[in-house]
Amino acid sequence: DDVLDPESVIKHPLQNSWAMWFFKNDKGRDWKDNLRVITTFDTVEDFWGLYNHTLPASRLQSGCDYSVFKAGIQPMWEDAQNKKGGRWLINLNKSQRQTHLDDFWLETLLCLIGEGFDEHSDDICGATVNIRTKGDKLGLWTRDANKIEATKKIGLKLKESLNVPSKIVIGFQAHSDTAGKAGSTVKNRFTV
Amino acid sequence: GTRIVYDRSRLMQLRNSP
């Protein structure tokens, strides 16, 4: 009988809806005009449709960002849902753009959409990858920097998912500490 | 309530489904 198995036709729903953003550093335009939503998605199939048809992060021009955030949260610390939070930051060296960047970004996205942070998944806002000549950066943004245990567990799960060796330390920066300061002077709230 | 969770292997498996 040619009755279709529903499993093969129904898209697999995600716990959350997500928006993928693109930022291109066009100095001739206002910063906010350079930041746009590519699309939103709330199923596994739509995620793959999007991911398979967008340029890999490693091939973006310098100065560009990709961000994937829960629908309703803008990829900026000023957003009410980001303000009290912070980000786990992974700094890549120049050679890691070709060796690690795309894998790190995909593994991070799979953790996001699959709710891979267990009971702490509600504390996740989104993730951003910044393509920069001086070294690319990947950030996982959380909702509340004061939730220390939850934030540390999120950091450990991120390292585990990206196969970051335990001896490599990553740092968590609270947005309230970084707002308006040059990147290098910022002190990590904690590390794992 | 219940949470819809997909582990990495399930998501990769669904990457290639039609």
Instruction: Give the side-chain half-sphere CA count within 13 A for A52.
Output: 10
User: Does the CB of A15 have a partner CB in chain B at under 8 Å?
Assistant: yes
Which ipTM was obtained for this model? 0.95
Exposed, middle or buried: residue A152 (CB in 10 Å: 0-12, 13-18, 19+)? middle
What pLDDT digit, counting tens, does each position of A4-56 carry?
787 777 899 999 999 999 999 988 998 888 999 999 999 999 999 999 999 99
pLDDT digits (tens, 9 = 90+) for A115-162: 999 999 999 999 999 999 999 999 999 999 999 999 999 999 999 999
Chain A touched by B2 (CB under 8 Å): no
Q: Does A178 touch chain B (CB under 8 A)?
A: no
